[in-house]
Amino acid sequence: MVRILSCALTESPCVDALAGSDATLAPRPRVARDSPLDGARRFRFNSLMRFLPLCSLLTLASCPLLTAQPPQPPYETRAEHDPNGIGKFYMGREIAHVMGHQASGWLERPERETEERTDLLVDAMQIKPGEILADIGAGSGYFSWRMAKVTGPGGKVFAVDIQQEMLDLLQRNMARREVKNVVSALGTTSDPKLPPASVDTMLMVDVYHEFDQPFEMLSAMVKALKKGGRIVLVEFRAEDPAVNIKRVHKMSEAQAKTEFELFPELRWEKTISVLPQQHILIFRKS
Protein backbone atom coordinates (compact mmCIF):
# COMPACT_ATOMS: atom_id res chain seq x y z
CA MET A 1 0.00 0.00 0.00
CA VAL A 2 1.25 3.45 -0.87
CA ARG A 3 1.31 5.90 2.03
CA ILE A 4 0.43 9.38 0.95
CA LEU A 5 1.48 12.52 2.82
CA SER A 6 -0.55 15.68 2.88
CA CYS A 7 2.45 17.93 3.47
CA ALA A 8 4.57 20.07 1.20
CA LEU A 9 8.12 18.95 0.47
CA THR A 10 10.05 21.65 2.27
CA GLU A 11 11.81 20.92 5.55
CA SER A 12 8.73 21.86 7.60
CA PRO A 13 6.54 19.70 9.88
CA CYS A 14 3.71 17.86 8.15
CA VAL A 15 0.88 15.43 8.75
CA ASP A 16 0.70 11.82 7.63
CA ALA A 17 -2.73 12.04 6.02
CA LEU A 18 -3.19 8.46 4.86
CA ALA A 19 -1.59 5.54 5.88
CA GLY A 20 21.24 -1.21 -29.31
CA SER A 21 23.62 -3.68 -29.19
CA ASP A 22 27.29 -2.86 -29.75
CA ALA A 23 27.90 -6.36 -31.06
CA THR A 24 30.34 -6.16 -33.93
CA LEU A 25 29.77 -8.40 -36.86
CA ALA A 26 32.69 -10.62 -37.60
CA PRO A 27 34.06 -10.11 -41.12
CA ARG A 28 32.18 -12.42 -43.45
CA PRO A 29 34.23 -15.58 -43.80
CA ARG A 30 35.12 -16.28 -47.40
CA VAL A 31 35.93 -19.57 -48.98
CA ALA A 32 39.39 -19.40 -50.46
CA ARG A 33 39.66 -19.62 -54.25
CA ASP A 34 41.57 -22.85 -53.89
CA SER A 35 38.89 -24.26 -51.56
CA PRO A 36 38.48 -28.02 -51.78
CA LEU A 37 34.67 -27.50 -51.94
CA ASP A 38 33.03 -28.00 -55.31
CA GLY A 39 30.90 -25.19 -56.87
CA ALA A 40 27.47 -26.21 -55.49
CA ARG A 41 28.81 -27.05 -52.02
CA ARG A 42 30.82 -23.81 -52.02
CA PHE A 43 27.61 -21.88 -52.86
CA ARG A 44 25.75 -23.56 -49.96
CA PHE A 45 28.68 -22.86 -47.62
CA ASN A 46 28.89 -19.21 -48.69
CA SER A 47 25.11 -18.75 -48.28
CA LEU A 48 25.30 -20.18 -44.76
CA MET A 49 28.19 -17.88 -43.90
CA ARG A 50 26.27 -14.87 -45.23
CA PHE A 51 23.35 -15.81 -42.99
CA LEU A 52 25.35 -16.24 -39.79
CA PRO A 53 25.65 -12.55 -38.85
CA LEU A 54 21.88 -12.13 -39.27
CA CYS A 55 21.26 -15.17 -37.06
CA SER A 56 23.57 -13.80 -34.37
CA LEU A 57 21.74 -10.49 -34.47
CA LEU A 58 18.38 -12.22 -34.06
CA THR A 59 19.76 -14.23 -31.17
CA LEU A 60 21.11 -11.08 -29.54
CA ALA A 61 17.75 -9.34 -29.97
CA SER A 62 16.07 -12.02 -27.90
CA CYS A 63 18.90 -12.14 -25.39
CA PRO A 64 17.79 -11.17 -21.86
CA LEU A 65 20.87 -8.96 -21.47
CA LEU A 66 19.29 -6.55 -23.93
CA THR A 67 16.15 -6.07 -21.89
CA ALA A 68 16.23 -4.28 -18.54
CA GLN A 69 16.92 -6.53 -15.59
CA PRO A 70 15.97 -5.32 -12.10
CA PRO A 71 18.70 -5.27 -9.47
CA GLN A 72 18.62 -8.29 -7.16
CA PRO A 73 16.88 -8.00 -4.83
CA PRO A 74 14.91 -5.21 -6.52
CA TYR A 75 13.85 -3.62 -3.28
CA GLU A 76 14.93 -3.72 0.36
CA THR A 77 12.97 -2.81 3.45
CA ARG A 78 14.78 -1.25 6.39
CA ALA A 79 13.36 -0.64 9.85
CA GLU A 80 15.55 2.40 10.39
CA HIS A 81 14.80 5.07 7.86
CA ASP A 82 13.97 8.69 7.16
CA PRO A 83 10.50 9.62 8.52
CA ASN A 84 9.68 11.17 5.15
CA GLY A 85 10.46 7.92 3.38
CA ILE A 86 8.49 4.67 3.20
CA GLY A 87 11.33 2.45 4.49
CA LYS A 88 11.64 0.81 1.06
CA PHE A 89 14.97 1.24 -0.72
CA TYR A 90 15.82 0.99 -4.42
CA MET A 91 19.44 0.94 -5.55
CA GLY A 92 20.52 2.43 -2.22
CA ARG A 93 17.95 5.25 -2.23
CA GLU A 94 14.96 5.49 0.06
CA ILE A 95 11.63 5.99 -1.73
CA ALA A 96 9.64 9.03 -0.51
CA HIS A 97 6.04 9.20 0.59
CA VAL A 98 3.65 10.23 -2.17
CA MET A 99 2.50 13.82 -1.81
CA GLY A 100 -1.22 13.73 -1.07
CA HIS A 101 -3.86 15.73 -2.93
CA GLN A 102 -4.44 17.69 0.30
CA ALA A 103 -1.13 19.45 -0.41
CA SER A 104 -2.03 20.44 -3.98
CA GLY A 105 -2.09 24.10 -2.89
CA TRP A 106 1.71 23.88 -2.56
CA LEU A 107 1.97 22.86 -6.21
CA GLU A 108 -0.17 25.80 -7.29
CA ARG A 109 1.42 28.42 -4.98
CA PRO A 110 1.87 31.73 -6.84
CA GLU A 111 5.55 32.04 -5.87
CA ARG A 112 6.38 28.71 -7.53
CA GLU A 113 7.13 30.37 -10.86
CA THR A 114 9.86 32.56 -9.38
CA GLU A 115 11.17 29.98 -6.89
CA GLU A 116 11.45 27.17 -9.46
CA ARG A 117 11.50 29.22 -12.70
CA THR A 118 8.92 26.89 -14.18
CA ASP A 119 8.88 29.11 -17.29
CA LEU A 120 12.53 28.19 -17.96
CA LEU A 121 11.72 24.50 -17.57
CA VAL A 122 8.98 24.63 -20.20
CA ASP A 123 11.30 26.60 -22.54
CA ALA A 124 14.15 24.13 -21.97
CA MET A 125 11.95 21.24 -23.12
CA GLN A 126 11.78 22.74 -26.64
CA ILE A 127 8.38 21.19 -27.29
CA LYS A 128 7.40 21.18 -30.96
CA PRO A 129 3.84 21.89 -32.08
CA GLY A 130 1.92 18.63 -32.51
CA GLU A 131 4.01 16.65 -30.01
CA ILE A 132 2.28 13.97 -27.94
CA LEU A 133 3.33 14.52 -24.35
CA ALA A 134 2.73 12.78 -21.05
CA ASP A 135 2.86 14.52 -17.68
CA ILE A 136 3.59 11.57 -15.42
CA GLY A 137 2.54 12.34 -11.85
CA ALA A 138 0.72 15.40 -13.13
CA GLY A 139 -0.78 16.40 -9.77
CA SER A 140 -3.00 19.47 -10.19
CA GLY A 141 -1.84 19.85 -13.80
CA TYR A 142 0.57 22.74 -13.22
CA PHE A 143 2.73 21.62 -16.15
CA SER A 144 0.00 19.84 -18.16
CA TRP A 145 -1.72 23.00 -19.39
CA ARG A 146 1.56 24.84 -19.92
CA MET A 147 2.77 22.02 -22.17
CA ALA A 148 -0.65 21.77 -23.85
CA LYS A 149 -0.40 25.43 -24.88
CA VAL A 150 2.98 24.84 -26.54
CA THR A 151 2.10 21.65 -28.40
CA GLY A 152 -1.15 23.29 -29.56
CA PRO A 153 -4.39 21.81 -30.90
CA GLY A 154 -2.51 19.35 -33.13
CA GLY A 155 -0.84 17.79 -30.07
CA LYS A 156 -1.99 16.27 -26.82
CA VAL A 157 -0.93 15.85 -23.19
CA PHE A 158 -1.73 12.70 -21.25
CA ALA A 159 -1.93 13.76 -17.60
CA VAL A 160 -1.27 10.65 -15.51
CA ASP A 161 -1.62 10.33 -11.75
CA ILE A 162 -2.43 7.60 -9.23
CA GLN A 163 -4.74 9.82 -7.13
CA GLN A 164 -8.20 10.29 -8.57
CA GLU A 165 -8.58 13.39 -6.37
CA MET A 166 -5.59 14.98 -8.14
CA LEU A 167 -7.11 14.16 -11.53
CA ASP A 168 -10.48 15.65 -10.48
CA LEU A 169 -8.68 18.84 -9.49
CA LEU A 170 -6.64 18.77 -12.71
CA GLN A 171 -9.81 18.45 -14.83
CA ARG A 172 -11.36 21.42 -13.04
CA ASN A 173 -8.20 23.44 -13.67
CA MET A 174 -8.19 22.51 -17.38
CA ALA A 175 -11.89 23.41 -17.75
CA ARG A 176 -11.32 26.77 -16.02
CA ARG A 177 -8.49 27.53 -18.45
CA GLU A 178 -10.46 26.15 -21.40
CA VAL A 179 -7.68 23.74 -22.24
CA LYS A 180 -9.04 20.98 -24.46
CA ASN A 181 -5.98 18.92 -25.35
CA VAL A 182 -5.19 17.43 -21.92
CA VAL A 183 -6.46 13.90 -21.39
CA SER A 184 -6.35 12.64 -17.80
CA ALA A 185 -5.42 9.03 -17.11
CA LEU A 186 -5.52 7.13 -13.83
CA GLY A 187 -2.42 4.99 -13.58
CA THR A 188 -1.26 2.47 -11.02
CA THR A 189 1.97 2.48 -9.01
CA SER A 190 3.52 0.19 -11.63
CA ASP A 191 1.92 1.33 -14.88
CA PRO A 192 0.87 4.69 -16.33
CA LYS A 193 -1.58 2.77 -18.58
CA LEU A 194 -0.56 4.58 -21.75
CA PRO A 195 -0.84 3.01 -25.22
CA PRO A 196 2.38 1.38 -26.47
CA ALA A 197 4.79 3.57 -28.49
CA SER A 198 2.41 6.53 -28.33
CA VAL A 199 4.32 9.35 -26.62
CA ASP A 200 7.08 11.68 -27.90
CA THR A 201 8.00 13.31 -24.60
CA MET A 202 7.32 12.28 -21.00
CA LEU A 203 7.83 14.81 -18.23
CA MET A 204 8.29 13.94 -14.56
CA VAL A 205 8.60 16.91 -12.20
CA ASP A 206 9.28 15.99 -8.55
CA VAL A 207 7.64 12.61 -9.09
CA TYR A 208 10.11 9.83 -9.85
CA HIS A 209 11.55 9.72 -6.30
CA GLU A 210 7.99 8.94 -5.07
CA PHE A 211 7.47 5.93 -7.31
CA ASP A 212 6.67 2.97 -5.12
CA GLN A 213 7.86 0.63 -7.90
CA PRO A 214 10.36 2.63 -9.93
CA PHE A 215 11.66 -0.31 -11.97
CA GLU A 216 8.18 -1.42 -13.04
CA MET A 217 7.01 2.14 -13.72
CA LEU A 218 10.02 2.98 -15.86
CA SER A 219 9.69 -0.32 -17.79
CA ALA A 220 6.07 0.54 -18.61
CA MET A 221 7.01 4.13 -19.51
CA VAL A 222 9.73 2.94 -21.90
CA LYS A 223 7.13 0.76 -23.67
CA ALA A 224 4.76 3.74 -24.01
CA LEU A 225 7.52 5.94 -25.45
CA LYS A 226 7.96 6.17 -29.23
CA LYS A 227 11.34 5.22 -30.67
CA GLY A 228 13.42 8.40 -30.52
CA GLY A 229 11.14 9.78 -27.80
CA ARG A 230 12.48 11.27 -24.59
CA ILE A 231 11.97 11.28 -20.86
CA VAL A 232 12.52 14.61 -19.14
CA LEU A 233 13.35 14.02 -15.49
CA VAL A 234 13.23 16.99 -13.14
CA GLU A 235 14.31 16.53 -9.53
CA PHE A 236 15.51 18.82 -6.74
CA ARG A 237 19.31 18.61 -6.57
CA ALA A 238 20.44 16.31 -3.75
CA GLU A 239 24.05 17.45 -4.33
CA ASP A 240 23.16 20.99 -3.33
CA PRO A 241 22.81 21.62 0.43
CA ALA A 242 21.26 25.02 -0.34
CA VAL A 243 18.15 23.32 -1.76
CA ASN A 244 15.71 23.38 1.17
CA ILE A 245 13.73 20.26 0.35
CA LYS A 246 13.38 17.09 2.44
CA ARG A 247 16.26 14.69 1.69
CA VAL A 248 14.16 11.84 0.27
CA HIS A 249 12.36 14.27 -2.04
CA LYS A 250 15.67 15.19 -3.72
CA MET A 251 17.80 13.11 -6.12
CA SER A 252 21.36 13.40 -7.29
CA GLU A 253 22.20 13.35 -10.98
CA ALA A 254 24.47 10.33 -10.47
CA GLN A 255 21.72 8.32 -8.74
CA ALA A 256 19.19 9.14 -11.48
CA LYS A 257 21.63 8.05 -14.19
CA THR A 258 22.41 4.79 -12.37
CA GLU A 259 18.72 3.92 -12.17
CA PHE A 260 17.86 4.91 -15.75
CA GLU A 261 20.89 3.17 -17.22
CA LEU A 262 19.39 -0.19 -16.21
CA PHE A 263 17.29 0.26 -19.34
CA PRO A 264 19.31 -0.54 -22.47
CA GLU A 265 16.80 1.37 -24.63
CA LEU A 266 17.50 4.61 -22.74
CA ARG A 267 20.54 6.81 -23.24
CA TRP A 268 21.31 9.86 -21.15
CA GLU A 269 21.48 12.71 -23.64
CA LYS A 270 22.11 15.80 -21.55
CA THR A 271 21.61 17.58 -18.27
CA ILE A 272 20.26 21.10 -18.44
CA SER A 273 21.29 23.30 -15.54
CA VAL A 274 19.18 26.42 -15.88
CA LEU A 275 16.86 26.05 -12.89
CA PRO A 276 17.60 27.51 -9.46
CA GLN A 277 16.95 24.29 -7.50
CA GLN A 278 16.37 21.35 -9.87
CA HIS A 279 18.28 19.60 -12.58
CA ILE A 280 16.70 18.56 -15.87
CA LEU A 281 17.96 15.24 -17.22
CA ILE A 282 17.03 14.14 -20.73
CA PHE A 283 17.02 10.43 -21.61
CA ARG A 284 16.35 9.34 -25.21
CA LYS A 285 14.87 6.01 -26.35
CA SER A 286 16.89 4.45 -29.16
Ligand X SMILES: C[S@@+](CC[C@H](N)C(=O)[O-])C[C@H]1O[C@@H](n2cnc3c(N)ncnc32)[C@H](O)[C@@H]1O
> What is the binding site for ligand X (CB under 6 A)?
98-99, 107, 136-139, 142-143, 160-163, 166, 187, 189, 192, 205-207, 210-211, 217
41 or 112, CB closer to ligand X? 112
Q: Quote the least distance from Cβ 191 to ligand X, whole Å.
A: 8
Which residue intervals of the chain are DSSP H helices?
39-61, 104-107, 112-116, 118-124, 142-151, 164-176, 214-224, 253-260
Tell me the CA distances in angstroms from 176 to 11, 87, 151, 171, 262, one per residue in order: 32, 39, 19, 9, 41
56 or 189, CB closer to ligand X? 189
Q: Is 34 exposed, middle or buried (0-12, 13-18, 19+ CB in 10 A)?
A: exposed
Q: Quote the least distance from Cβ 14 to ligand X, whole Å.
A: 13
* b (16+ CB within 10 A) / e for 118-134: beebbebbebeeebbbb
203 or 266, CB closer to ligand X? 203
143 or 260, CB closer to ligand X? 143
**Alpha-carbon gap, residue 134 to 144, rounded angstroms:** 8
**CA 114, 120, 121: angle at the middle one, nearest 5?**
105
Q: Quote the least distance from Cβ 129 to ligand X, whole Å.
A: 23
Contact 185, 160 (CB under 8 A): yes
Q: Quote the least distance from Cβ 204 to ligand X, whole Å.
A: 7
93-96 β-sheet, strand order: 76-77, 85-90, 93-96
132 or 217, CB closer to ligand X? 217
Q: How many CB atoms lie within 10 A of CB 230?
A: 20
Give how far the C-alpha of residue 236 lies from the chain's centroid of Cα atoms, to the nearest Å. Answer: 15
Q: Quote the least distance from Cβ 3 to ligand X, whole Å.
A: 11
163 or 181, CB closer to ligand X? 163
**Alpha-carbon gap, residue 200 to 229, rounded angstroms:** 4
Q: Quote the least distance from Cβ 141 to ligand X, whole Å.
A: 8
Q: Quote the least distance from Cβ 44 to ligand X, whole Å.
A: 55
13 or 64, CB closer to ligand X? 13
